[in-house]
Amino acid sequence: MKYINQLRMEFMSIPDNVGLARLTVAAFASQLDYTVSEIDDIKGAISEAVSNAIIHGYEGRPENTVRIVASLTTRGLEVIVEDTGKGIENVKEAMLSGYSSVPERLGLGFSFMQSFMDEVAVLSEPMKGTRVIMFKQLGRRGDYASEN
Amino acid sequence: MKYINQLRMEFMSIPDNVGLARLTVAAFASQLDYTVSEIDDIKGAISEAVSNAIIHGYEGRPENTVRIVASLTTRGLEVIVEDTGKGIENVKEAMLSGYSSVPERLGLGFSFMQSFMDEVAVLSEPMKGTRVIMFKQLGRRGDYASEN
Amino acid sequence: MDSEVEVRSNALVVRLAGEIDIKVADALRAELETSLDRSRARHLVLNLDRVSFIDSSGLGVILGRYKRVSVQGGKLAFVGLRPAVQRVLELSGVLRISEVFPSEDEALSRLQ
Amino acid sequence: MDSEVEVRSNALVVRLAGEIDIKVADALRAELETSLDRSRARHLVLNLDRVSFIDSSGLGVILGRYKRVSVQGGKLAFVGLRPAVQRVLELSGVLRISEVFPSEDEALSRLQ
Ligand SMILES: Nc1ncnc2c1ncn2[C@@H]1O[C@H](COP(=O)(O)OP(=O)(O)O)[C@@H](O)[C@H]1O
Ligand SMILES: Nc1ncnc2c1ncn2[C@@H]1O[C@H](COP(=O)(O)OP(=O)(O)O)[C@@H](O)[C@H]1O
């Protein structure tokens, strides 16, 4: 697999940077020939993964670092969102739709990532951190309408 | 000086990433209370520094890495653009308005950076690379009109 | 995110603009709670026609308010969903417990 | 970057849109050269009203074409400069060797 382009970014774990990450990865992915709705999907997935790193991984502490590695290949966008925060004890349970360890949250983050992207893998170790690896295939989906 | 926010990014030395860097640093800087024309200045300065890293530092070879470190403080944006490319023999000469080592270029990159930003420092070592450190003070300038 | 609140007949109409994510979630929650307290409106109508993005953190705020409204027998309605927002609402199942109308007026006349 | 070229009386009118930087510099240079070759126009009128950004790489392309046009006794004129673009043109001194007009028609009538 040949890399067409590669971007790494690291930023402080504060809510302002969720929008920054979304915008940057979307602009990066736009170098490939994605549709508008595919770019919206990518924004959604990044938003969920980065929010999780900030809220859950670092439990809202701002002085930590969230890291994103995004790569473009002829097949599509691969993007890794990672934190060195508290990690997840049971990844399978965490990924269940509706499961959240925080009462007022919906527990839909991981299922949104799975709906928006073609592949989602989560590697996590308690006290070490979490890495979410996502892939969005190029030329796979049509717009919203044709999916329904 | 307290950092309000910090962003690091690294990307391949290809022309597509000049616009990406501009957009990302501008979005990042917009977290402070800059005017629209100040954000335009920041875009201009990033564009010149990143283009220089790609064209001059790496002489157009795409497999190299350009690195940006951007920091927000209560005083303003500090941004560092760096490459590990061929470096500059004589920084003073290189920064002269109109000086270019490439015939078809204007030699205005550094003087634009100096016009757009409040401070510009260039550290470079032949065969090692170049680091451009820029600072844009907050609440200093009005819009274009009031500068004239 | 910008917001504008208006009480029209028995509904609280809230017009939002921008991106609704974790950055604005707390402020939005507080604003909706205050407005619901003050207005004593029965229904909640959200006009999202200038909302370009929403994620699960933003949706959580809306669903929290839905719970409050539905306890008092009120309904949740949406107006002006852009494709990206519509998709998130669909995926979450929110559209099964709410209604979507083409305009605020239509929403208000149907929610009596 | 998008572009549109039209020959009007003795001028080549080029309407550009988007951001003019190193990414598009080579393509723009080639397009302007080809258009100047074909049209044999005397003056060059650049309508930049949909150009949101230009840097020194983009400016280099314009100045290179200015040289060619001025050798044949032609002039360079700009129409529709946004603040960010105007500022870059001013800083570079390009505005001292060119003229700015409020519309294409005005530019064409003055460049006879
Ligand atoms: N980066 C992370 N670090 C630690 N825990 C996480 C992380 N991401 C997700 N989790 C755990 O997985 C659960 C489910 O995540 P998600 O599906 O995004 O829903 P929500 O964010 O609404 O809780 C979270 O409640 C949290 O316990
Ligand atoms: N990152 C860099 N690496 C190596 N040389 C550089 C770098 N940036 C600038 N230079 C040198 O400084 C000169 C002047 O740069 P600049 O003012 O931006 O004008 P231009 O890019 O038009 O040549 C360049 O021609 C080049 O020789």
- Going by C-alpha positions, the residue among C25, B11, C33, C94 that lies closest to residue A47 is C25
Identify which of A70, B98, A51 has the alpha carbon closest to the alpha carbon of residue C25: A51
Give the angle D21-D2-D106 at the CA atoms, nearest 5°: 95
pLDDT tier at A145 (50, 70, 90 boundaries)? Answer: very low
Position in ligand 1 atom list of the atom nearest CA A101: 25
| Phi, psi values for residue B68, rounded to 5° | -125, 135
Ligand 1 centroid – CA A121 distance (Å): 14
Ligand 2 pocket, residue B94 CB under 6 Å: yes
Residue A1: the pLDDT is 67
Q: For residue range C51-71, list pLDDT tens digits in order.
A: 999 999 999 999 999 999 999
Given CB atoms, is A140 within the 8 Å cutoff of chain B? no
User: pLDDT grade, residue B141 (50/70/90)?
Assistant: low
The DSSP element (H or E) to which C70 belongs, if any, is helix C56-71
Chain-centre distance for alpha carbon B117: 9
Beta strands in C1-112 (DSSP E): 2-8, 11-20, 43-54, 76-79, 99-101
> Which pair of tokens denotes residue B119?
């401070």
Report chain C's terminal Cα–Cα distance, integer Å.
29
CA-based end-to-end distance of chain D? 29
Q: Each residue of A90-125: pLDDT tens digit?
A: 999 999 999 999 998 999 999 999 999 999 999 999
pLDDT of residue A131 exceeding 60: yes
Longest dimension (CA), chain B: 43
Q: pLDDT tier at B145 (50, 70, 90 boundaries)?
A: very low
Residues facing residue A65 across a β-bridge: A12
Q: Where are the alpha helices (DSSP H) in chain D?
A: 22-39, 56-71, 83-92, 104-110
The pLDDT of residue B1: 67
* Chain A touched by B24 (CB under 8 Å): yes
Closest by CA to D70, choosing from D102, D100, D91, D42, is D42
Q: Which residue of chain B is at minimal alpha-carbon distance from D94?
A: B106
Determine the pLDDT at residue A20. Answer: 98
How many residues are listed for chain A in this entry?
Answer: 148
Q: How far apart are CA A98 and CA A57, in angstroms?
A: 18
Residue with CA nearest ligand 1 atom 10: A56
Could you tell me the pTM of the whole model? Answer: 0.94
Give the tens place of pLDDT for each residue, D21-67.
Answer: 999 999 999 999 999 999 989 999 999 999 999 999 999 999 999 99
What is the pLDDT confidence band of residue B140, given thresholds at 50, 70 and 90? Answer: confident
Backbone dihedral angles phi then psi of residue D97, each to the nearest 5 degrees: -115, 10
Residue B146 alpha carbon to ligand 2 centre in Å: 31
The mean pLDDT of A17-30, rounded to a whole number, is 98
> Which chain D residue is nearest to residue B45, measuring alpha carbons?
D55
Q: Give the number of other Cβ atoms within 10 Å of residue D12's Cβ.
A: 23
Residue D26's beta-bridge partner residues?
A: none
| B70/B12 Cα distance (integer angstroms) | 18
pLDDT at B2: 79
Strand C76-79 and strand C99-101: the pairing is parallel
Which amino acids of B are annotated catalytic? Answer: 48, 52, 105
- Contact by Cβ (8 Å): D42, D73: yes
Report yes or no: C19 at the A interface, CB cutoff 8 Å: yes
- Per-residue tokens: C103: 């305009």
Instruction: For C90-110, write each residue's pLDDT tens digit.
Output: 999 999 999 999 999 999 999
Under the banding of pLDDT at 50, 70 and 90, the label for residue A147 is: very low
Contact pairs from chain B to chain D, CB under 8 Å: 67
DSSP A126-139: TTTEEEEEEEEETT
Provide CB contacts within 8 A for D33, sequence distance 6+.
D65, D68
Nearest CA to ligand 2 atom 2: B57
